[in-house]
A = this chain, B = another copy of it.
Amino acid sequence: MDRVERVRLRIDLAYDGGDFHGWASQPGLRTVQGDLEAALATVLRVTDAATVCAGRTDTGVHARGQVVHVDVEPEPEDLVGLTRRLNGVLAPDVRVRRVARAADGFDARFSPLWRRYAYRLCDGTPDPLTRGHVLAWPRPLDVDAMSDASRPLLGLHDFAAFCKQREGATTVRTLLDLAWTRETDVVTGLVRADAFCHHMVRSLVGCLVAVGEGRRPVEWPGEVLRAEVRDPAVTVVPPHGLTLEEVGYPPDDELAARATEARARRDAG
């Protein structure tokens, strides 16, 4: 019997999360993973194509820079043609940006150095053309106050106060960037971390908009962080303002080591 070698493909993906029940496959519901795996099965003529992603986005959350891996056999000959055929099968709210053979040791979930998300709010008249990915906010936001309040959150902390707790999983993360900018009436928060716990970005944003609209003092987010327990006063903002923009991976020769390290850290409760 011939032994055909499996190869790992890296798929870069963008989607409008509005009509999806999130990334992860769920029976009877439309999910990005479900649509992508069905498209891969059709185009590659296989019965199963199990994908792994960098950021398991929730219902309604969008992505411009999602990264996925899938192991296939035999190796597809024409990856540009494969990209085109996948886009021909997928609905227009998911687009494959690129399919490439993954470097040795690449793991979409465990190799990343960081994930970058954007959260967008409009505190003026919402633009109907961007209403699917920009949250309408009914009160004016003070971006300087939000920036000041964000500073103490940067660095290595236990983010338990901003996370939906999961049994046996660490909530220690390194927050690399948390920056607020305004362009006319659209306020954007860029949030970058090694990894995120569940609901972490949307809780951070919920906490900071309370400062931005003057309901809470600038010191409040830092105090919430230091308490290290879920604070019911922090609201989780709606998913549709959130977009996974980019995932950063190390150079190819560090991919495997990074994955081993991240796997170990994630398991440490």
- Residues of A participating in the B interface, judged by any CB pair closer than 8 Å: 14-16, 62, 64, 87, 92-98, 125-133, 136, 243
Contact = CB atoms under 8 A, between A and B. Distances in A.
Nearest to A94: B128
A243 B130 CA distance: 13
9 contacts: A14-B127, A15-B128, A62-B129, A87-B125, A92-B126, A92-B128, A93-B128, A93-B131, A129-B132
A241 to B, nearest CB: 12
Nearest to A93: B128
A7 to B, nearest CB: 23
B131 A92 contact: yes
Interface of A is mostly: mixed
A243 B129 contact: yes
Nearest to A96: B125
Contact of A16 (B14, B15, B131, B243): B131
Contacts of A132: 129, 132
4 closest A-B pairs by beta carbon, nearest first, are A16-B128, A97-B125, A129-B133, A93-B128
A94 B128 CA distance: 6
Which of A87, A97, A129 is packed against the most chain B CB atoms within 10 Å? A129
B127 A64 contact: yes
Contacts of A128: 14-16, 62, 92-95
A174 to B, nearest CB: 28
Contacts of A98: 125
